[in-house]
Structure 1
Amino acid sequence: MAQIFKNLKIRYILKSLRVRFFIIVFATGLISCLVMHAVILDSYEDRAVNVRSTEVQTQLKILANHLIAYNYLQDTSSEVINAELDMLANLYDGRVMVINDDLKVVKDTYNISQGKIIISEEVVNCLKTGQRGAVSKFDKNNGYIEMITPIIESQLIQEKDVSDVGDTGVVVRGVLLTSVSTDTIETTLDILGRRATTLEVIIVTVILVFAAWVANILLKPFNRITAAINDVKAGYTDQPVSGPNYYETEQILNAFNALLKRMKVLDDSRQEFVSNVSHELKTPITSMKVIADSLLAQEEVPNELYRDFMNDISHEIDREDKIINDLLVLVKMDKKASGLIVTNVDVVNLTESVLKRLRPIAMQRNIDLTLESKRAVTAEIDEVKISLVIMNLVENAIKYNNDNGWVRVTIDADHQYFYIEVKDSGVGIPEDCFDHIYERFYRVDKSRSREVGGTGLGLSIARSAVIMHRGSIDLKSKPGEGTTFTIKIPLICAGNKKQQ
């Protein structure tokens, strides 16, 4: 158990934004220090080697001139030259060998190779191929710089055709092969390295403290957001979260506040819906209770009165049944998993069959109900749900119409959508009601709705069914001039569907 708790704690720490931010800042500083350490020391080493090489080469060139002047390659007895060679070797803790043009060592400050033949690619190139420049090579592993310096003699070359005019040429008479120790450079590098390490430890410590401080400061807004969200979750407040934040946290707060607002709207809508459902279901029951009490309070009630009261009770039961059925339809449409039962449907025939069932209701008020189809339309739709859409729109157009009025249903389509327009000559809808007519139990004229038997759920059902088909529903209306509903639905269903 302790091991499991430890693993969970480690996982939590690694997932913490504060820990990750701290690690990133600290690692960035540490890597920067290490890179600077390596770059600076390497740069110093390269610079020190180049300076040492240039310095020694300058002295070797002067020494080479002295060798020619004293004819040292033929006679090595010159005490002056030998002293210069020993002094140079001792000064740089190195070794100097003088090699003539026969590759023979005429002088070795170590007295090891004197009189021997030296065969070296660099020496041969310097003597035989006319290479004139000095060559330096740094051997870092063994800690020395090897330099090859040509011993050059100038000669006057006479022209063949002009006896008094000549040109000066150079001839390589030998080579100075010198090895210079870099121990002093390495010692200096060690000292610099230790000082740099000490400085790095100090810098890394500062970075460590700075990273912890910055991580804590920068993440404070997130802590405030978390605390505010926890207060909302616990029910202590439902007010929008605010405070001084960064741009990123402002985006989070804006999204959260928008979600909070949406939740409040949904909660208010739910409470209003429950209240409306309770009221709508209670009204028929209250009416039946009043009728029943009236019958019970009277003695020897005539049969005609009993029949009238029973008809009223039957009417209220039918009204209650319609409300319950509409609520069940809405509940089914609200379930995201219900999906659509999609088939290829002839929209014109479907609409005609719905209108056929509604014409008797229209004839009771002498309302002319017509269908106009501009073309044959076949679409992938849920036949039952689209029937509900057409039924509710046309039924409302009949109920909220004037006697001797008209209702026209028009069907059209293009290459992507089909359109059903339901237009009437009814009482119309005020513009300030447009945003509410799809709300459940909302009625524009409540007294008239009760009179015609509406539940206030029809348009909500129609809109839900249209949205499930990824379509849209549009309203145009003016009071006293009638209403036009236009639904637009894709010919090919692209949503969540279930083939029959």
Structure 2
Amino acid sequence: MKLSIRYKFVIGFLVIFCISFISISFFINKIIVKNNEKIISKEFLRFQKDLTIYLNQYLKLKQIALDENEFEKNAQDIAAVLAVKIDDRVVVYSGKGGFLSDSACENGKIPIYEEVNNINEHKKYNKDLKLAVNNKSAYTIVPIDNKYMVIFSCPIFIDDVKLGIVRCNRDYTELFNSSENLLRVINISISLVFGLIFIFSILLATKITVPIIKLSRISKEVAKGNFDADIIVNSRDETGELTSNFNKMKNQIKKQIETIKRDRDNLKTIQKHRKAFFDNVTHEMKTPLTIISGYSQIILQKDFKDKEFFKKAVVKIKNESDRMHNMVLELLEISKVESKVSSDQMKKINVSEVIYLTCEDMRIRADKYDILIDKHIDKDVFVLGNENELRRMMINLIDNSIKYGDIKSSIKVKMFKDKNYCNMIVEDKGHGISTDKLDKIFKPFYRVDKVSSREKGSNGLGLSIVKSIVEKHRGEINIVSKENIGTKVYIKIPLIVYKMATSV
């Protein structure tokens, strides 16, 4: 049978308390007994000294010789006198233990411990008498009918002459009853204390084990995949800290699993996008290759003599070749932008200078269509990034505004700091983008309107490159546009970026 840790605690505490209670009671009882013996010994030592003094005075007063025979002859008188002196019963024996006289014999009350003529009788209570025969004082504790009688025997020596043995008894019931009452009170007190400690221990064991039991139950749920159950323990000790750490660990595992699932779904999405990207690349390259191949086959015919068609074919082949060349360059740029960048490629950049110089460079293209680049750029704004990529981003944005903006219009380029971000805005006036197409413009090879672009060779990769650059710099991009009015591009990049690694 499996015992829970709670019951193990209770059983362990119970065993310890029982052993402790028995041990303490035993030692206290020993101490009380020794204390009683010490009290009795002290009183009888004093009694022996007084007894010798009384007897010596009596013998001198009665002019009885210090002789064992004379002591035996006067044993009855001696017993009576000593009994009056000590106010207790006195029995007188010879030096060899023979019974001589008893002060209580007159009333006919001879107690159970009395030895008559032979010290070997009543062996249960004559140990003290035997020791007195061997010249040693001793006493025996005799329990009789809820009473405690103490029998004391001592040899009588006067002037180094052993005259005999005097034996007397005293009632110490009160002393022993007091000791028993004291022991009973102590045992009850110990029992109460141990009982309270035991109850407190059970409560403490419960307080400790209940969270562990809950933790065990919840851990089984977690093992089954249920991460929604939490342990609530209102405790500030190690148990509360343990449950708090368990909840944190469980939530962290839950987040990791959710991240893995999300990454799995993202991977599937990326694979779909890659397939779509590959299909788009294949389709986009197939068209110019088909045109180039078709014109080349016609030109290579032996009887071909049409100079006008030859000139047209050469121009077409060149245009399609340029288009393929630009497409390959932009694909390489996308691959480069979306690849992981080492930390040494990211450095502190004055983005104000990058945007200003880009606007100056693009002014030549804008002048071709009589378009003004109106720039409002805050000075000395710094970000952590890649200068070439940020320049490429601005070139694509301004280039799109030139392609799709109205002739003799203006392109507004703004850059300013707001809290911890560098904000960039590129605004043009032109064809604009319909609302239903705004969510597709960042897809590779997607072109809003091929006809509206005043320049050929556009492959629909510009905004895709821009978005990749912004995301790599931990930024955000948003486009607002209205048809036949114009387009605004909002970009926000953190002024300080610590980690710049991106995933493909």
* TM-score normalised by the chain length of structure 1: 0.54
Structure 1 residues 330-354: Cα deviation after superposition (integer angstroms, max 9, x where no partner)? 1122222444634554434432332
In structure 2, the CA distance between the partners of 1:492 and 1:44, relative to structure 1 (3 Å rule), is: closer
Please state how far the C-alpha of 1:438 moved relative to its aligned partner: 2.0
Given candidates 284, 289, 294, the residue that maps to 2:288 is: 284
Tell me which amino acid in the other structure corresponds to 2:368. Answer: Q
Is the 1:399–1:452 contact (alpha carbons within 8 Å) kept by the matching residues of 2? no
What is the match of residue 370 of structure 2?
A: 366
What is the match of residue 107 of structure 1?
A: 139
Given candidates 422, 427, 450, the residue that maps to 2:426 is: 422
* Partner Cα distance (1:366, 1:300) in 2: 44
Q: Secondary structure at the match of 1:336?
A: coil
Q: Does 1:440 find its partner at 2:472? A: no
* Partner Cα distance (2:367, 2:280) in 1: 32
Is the 2:476–2:492 contact (alpha carbons within 8 Å) kept by the matching residues of 1? yes
Is the 2:417–2:423 contact (alpha carbons within 8 Å) kept by the matching residues of 1? yes
Is the 2:434–2:481 contact (alpha carbons within 8 Å) kept by the matching residues of 1? yes
Tell me which amino acid in the other structure corresponds to 2:479. Answer: L
Is the 1:443–1:449 contact (alpha carbons within 8 Å) kept by the matching residues of 2? no
Q: Does 1:263 find its partner at 2:267? A: yes
Is the 1:76–1:107 contact (alpha carbons within 8 Å) kept by the matching residues of 2? no
What is the match of residue 351 of structure 2?
A: 347
In structure 2, the CA distance between the partners of 1:419 and 1:253, relative to structure 1 (3 Å rule), is: closer
What is the match of residue 330 of structure 2?
A: 326
Please state how far the C-alpha of 1:393 moved relative to its aligned partner: 0.5
In structure 2, the CA distance between the partners of 1:75 and 1:379, relative to structure 1 (3 Å rule), is: same
Is the 2:352–2:378 contact (alpha carbons within 8 Å) kept by the matching residues of 1? no
Structure 1 residues 364-405: Cα deviation after superposition (integer angstroms, max 9, x where no partner)? 333222222244545544221111010000001111223333
Structure 1 residues 153-205: Cα deviation after superposition (integer angstroms, max 9, x where no partner)? 7xxxxxxxxxxxxxxxxxx8999799x9xxxxxxxxxxxxxxxxxxxxxxxxx
Is the 1:73–1:106 contact (alpha carbons within 8 Å) kept by the matching residues of 2? no
- How many residues are paired up? 340
Tell me which amino acid in the other structure corresponds to 2:13. Answer: V
Please state how far the C-alpha of 1:269 moved relative to its aligned partner: 1.0
Please state how far the C-alpha of 1:485 moved relative to its aligned partner: 0.9
Please state how far the C-alpha of 1:76 moved relative to its aligned partner: 7.9
Which deviates more from structure 2 when the two are superposed, residues 313-322 or residues 338-347? 338-347
Given candidates 489, 494, 497, the residue that maps to 2:493 is: 489
In structure 2, the CA distance between the partners of 1:109 and 1:369, relative to structure 1 (3 Å rule), is: same
Q: Secondary structure at the match of 1:465?
A: helix
Q: Secondary structure at the match of 1:328?
A: helix
Tell me which amino acid in the other structure corresponds to 1:371. Answer: K
Alignment of 1:193-232 (within 5 A): 221=224
Tell me which amino acid in the other structure corresponds to 2:286. Answer: K
Tell me which amino acid in the other structure corresponds to 1:37. Answer: I
In structure 2, the CA distance between the partners of 1:252 and 1:454, relative to structure 1 (3 Å rule), is: same
Please state how far the C-alpha of 1:320 moved relative to its aligned partner: 0.8
Is the 1:409–1:423 contact (alpha carbons within 8 Å) kept by the matching residues of 2? yes
Is the 1:346–1:378 contact (alpha carbons within 8 Å) kept by the matching residues of 2? yes
Alignment of 1:162-177 (within 5 A): none
Q: Calculate percent identity across the aligned residue pairs.
A: 25
* Partner Cα distance (1:46, 1:331) in 2: 79
Structure 1 residues 390-448: Cα deviation after superposition (integer angstroms, max 9, x where no partner)? 00000011112233332111222246333221100022223333333222222223555
Which deviates more from structure 2 when the two are superposed, residues 444-453 or residues 264-273? 444-453
Which deviates more from structure 2 when the two are superposed, residues 43-52 or residues 453-462? 43-52
Q: Does 1:42 find its partner at 2:4? A: no
Is the 1:468–1:495 contact (alpha carbons within 8 Å) kept by the matching residues of 2? no
Tell me which amino acid in the other structure corresponds to 2:317. Answer: I
Q: Does 1:317 find its partner at 2:317? A: no
What is the match of residue 163 of structure 1?
A: none
In structure 2, the CA distance between the partners of 1:310 and 1:374, relative to structure 1 (3 Å rule), is: same
* Partner Cα distance (1:257, 1:385) in 2: 32
What is the match of residue 227 of structure 1?
A: none
* Partner Cα distance (1:255, 1:491) in 2: 28
Alignment of 1:93-104 (within 5 A): none
What are structure 1's unaligned runs of at least 5 residues? 1-24, 84-89, 91-103, 117-149, 154-171, 181-213, 224-245
Given candidates 305, 310, 330, the residue that maps to 1:306 is: 310
Output the aligned Cα RMSD: 5.2
Given candidates 456, 463, 479, the residue that maps to 1:475 is: 479
What is the match of residue 199 of structure 2?
A: none
In structure 2, the CA distance between the partners of 1:108 and 1:357, relative to structure 1 (3 Å rule), is: same
In structure 2, the CA distance between the partners of 1:216 and 1:460, relative to structure 1 (3 Å rule), is: closer
In structure 2, the CA distance between the partners of 1:40 and 1:323, relative to structure 1 (3 Å rule), is: same
In structure 2, the CA distance between the partners of 1:358 and 1:72, relative to structure 1 (3 Å rule), is: farther
Is the 2:346–2:500 contact (alpha carbons within 8 Å) kept by the matching residues of 1? no
Tell me which amino acid in the other structure corresponds to 1:36. Answer: V
Tell me which amino acid in the other structure corresponds to 2:12. Answer: A
What is the match of residue 130 of structure 1?
A: none
In structure 2, the CA distance between the partners of 1:296 and 1:215, relative to structure 1 (3 Å rule), is: same
What are structure 2's unaligned runs of at least 5 residues? 44-82, 92-103, 105-109, 115-123, 125-135, 143-149, 156-170, 184-216, 227-249
Q: Secondary structure at the match of 2:422?
A: strand
Q: Secondary structure at the match of 2:442?
A: coil
* Partner Cα distance (2:359, 2:86) in 1: 128
* Partner Cα distance (2:297, 2:486) in 1: 42
Q: Secondary structure at the match of 1:419?
A: strand
Tell me which amino acid in the other structure corresponds to 1:399. Answer: K
